[in-house]
Amino acid sequence: MPEKKEENVQNIAIINGPNLNMLGQRQPEIYGTQTLADIEALCRKEAEGLGFSVDFFQANGEGAIVDKIQSCAEGGTAAVIINAAAYTHTSVAIADALAALDIPVIEVHLSNIYRRESFRHHSYISPLAAGVICGFGAESYVLALHAVKNLLEKTV
């Protein structure tokens, strides 16, 4: 029998970009040893405590990420938390999709992008986001969930 969702539970989309499926294996000195599955479990637990449900998504392809963002505009999503990874610095398509949303967007990164290569200092997403959280590893996602909670409470 399908699980019945409470009507007052707001859904938060957490969208992850390329190579984040390799967390735990890829450059652990930068990204840590937690896997994306570990981060998903952490987010689900934290979201439940905040009264949210989570739609956790990862894709390596830009088009799939744009499609996911566009689906958030169709209703049923209260906010988007996005770690577009390398697409943060290159994708006008993702930025355009986010610009079409009428819900809060929080940009997150595991590493502090401003302590890294200079090409990572520019974000096409930041101007569209309510805020940017970076440099706290998996905790960046937890902080973003709390930021979403605060933003949504201000709009009620």
Catalytic residues: 31, 109
- Bridge-based pairing of strands 10-16 and 52-58 is parallel
| Token pair listed for 63 | 């088009």
Burial class of 141 by CB neighbour count within 10 A (0 to 12, 13 to 18, 19+): buried
| Segments in 88-131 forming alpha helices (H) | 92-99
- Please say whether the beta carbons of 82 and 107 come within 8 A: yes
Please give the Cα distance from 125 to 79 (Å, whole number): 15
- Classify residue 58 as left (phi > 0), alpha (psi -120 to 50) or beta: beta
Q: What are the backbone angles phi and psi of residue 11, rounded to the nearest 5°?
A: -95, 130
